[in-house]
A and B are shown apart, each in its own frame.
Chain A
Amino acid sequence: MDNSLQYLEIGFYGSAIILILVGLYGALMKKSLIKIVIGLSIIDAGLHLLMISIGYIKNGTAPIFSGEDFVVAGNMVDPVVQALVLTAIVIGFGVTAVALSLVIRLYRHHGTLKIDEIKNLKW
């Protein structure tokens, strides 16, 4: 597993950033409201991956003390970012749920999901 991670070094950051960019593209370009929400959640996924990757330490172990005597392992990955991501995931879910309920409301009100046609409020 360690070896595989060796050449994935850049891969984690890279794929995280690409996820963010792809999600942004969806949020900025797609006309469908649901697609926009999907885009936003992909951005979130990318961000979470980025955060976890930053906390990773080579050859580290999960930040859980185990074994018989719970010795303090010298090389643990950063638990803080994991805690942050945990929080962020749950928050992200809440936002997604609200967003989707708004999508349902908008569809009821306008009969369409195209963001171009939903601009009664402007200027």
Chain B
Amino acid sequence: MKKVIVLLLLAAFGYYLAATFFYIDFGISHFTNGVRDYYLAHTVNGLSVANTVTSIVVSFRGFDTLGEVTVLFLAASALGSILYKRRHKYEERVVLFPSSRIVQAGSKLLFPAIILLGVYVFIHGHLSPGGGFQGGTIIATGFLLMLLAYQDYHVSHNILSIVESMAGILFVTFGLLGFIGGGTFLENFLPVGELGDLFSGGVVPIIYILVGFKVGAELTGVIYTVLNEKDI
């Protein structure tokens, strides 16, 4: 009975969604003077950033990004708070699957490469696809690999938390520096440099690097917390 009702409801909902979105023609822009064109024009001229997505994420809508890393930070805190037990030492981890020596050796080999890739991705975020989030998640997957391969592999919670906090503090500080230097929060107060250079785009790469560190540390922390959650 319930199933039928829900299916009917979903059918109706699907109908309305389709009725709304199918009239928004695919592949055509529907607005003439939106913010998009301004962004596309100013990302090169104003910011000397090649990747428009990066310039939007870090500069035009940098405030969202600040909120977003806060969400991640809060999620990490929330996880710690929700799963908190009066047991301070993490002795054993969940063993998802026993890993063979080959896997372990491979992981060890891959780990620096992955970290390097992550770092590359977020350092070149303003020039090529990728950036802080992507690089951060890649770094986190690297740590994940190590954590899975070696059961006795530990990441220091303190170091994670220091990295995370420092990155966050620096992010806000850069924002406030912009506030002092340029008059608005997160304002680009550094010279934008030459388009295409590694050191271009003013604060954009710096902030994206900070985001990368922060996201990497947070995601690693989240996974580490959950992995250490052994109850059964």
A and B touch in the complex (CB under 8 A): yes
Residue pair A17, B36 in contact (C-beta under 8 Å): no
Contact with A along B26-46 (1 / 0, CB 8 A): 111100001110011101100
The interface size bin for chain B is: 35 or more
Closest to B22 in A: A13
Residues of B within 8 A of A17 (CB): 14, 17-18, 21
Contact with A along B64-106 (1 / 0, CB 8 A): 1101100110110011001100000000000000000000000
State the Cβ distance, B216 to closest chain A Cβ, in Å.
12
Residue pair B231, A104 in contact (C-beta under 8 Å): yes
Q: From the candidates B10, B34, B51, B195, name the one contacting A25 in the complex (CB within 8 A).
A: B10
Contact with A along B119-131 (1 / 0, CB 8 A): 0000000001100
Closest to B229 in A: A104
Q: How many residues belonging to A are interface residues under a CB distance threshold of 8 Å?
A: 50
Residue pair A79, B53 in contact (C-beta under 8 Å): yes
Closest to B195 in A: A70
Prevailing SS type, chain B contact patch = helix
Closest to B27 in A: A58
Residue pair B26, A56 in contact (C-beta under 8 Å): yes
Contacts A78-B36, A80-B36, A97-B79 known; A64 to B26 CB distance under 8 Å?
Answer: no
Residue pair A98, B78 in contact (C-beta under 8 Å): yes
User: Can you list 8 contacts pairing A with B, beta carbon distance less than 8 Å?
Assistant: A17-B18, A20-B17, A25-B6, A53-B26, A56-B26, A56-B27, A63-B40, A64-B128
**Residues on A facing B (Cβ under 8 Å):** 5, 9-10, 12-14, 17-18, 20-21, 24-25, 28-29, 50, 53-54, 56-58, 62-66, 70, 72, 76, 78-80, 82-84, 86-87, 89-91, 93-95, 97-98, 100-102, 104-105, 108
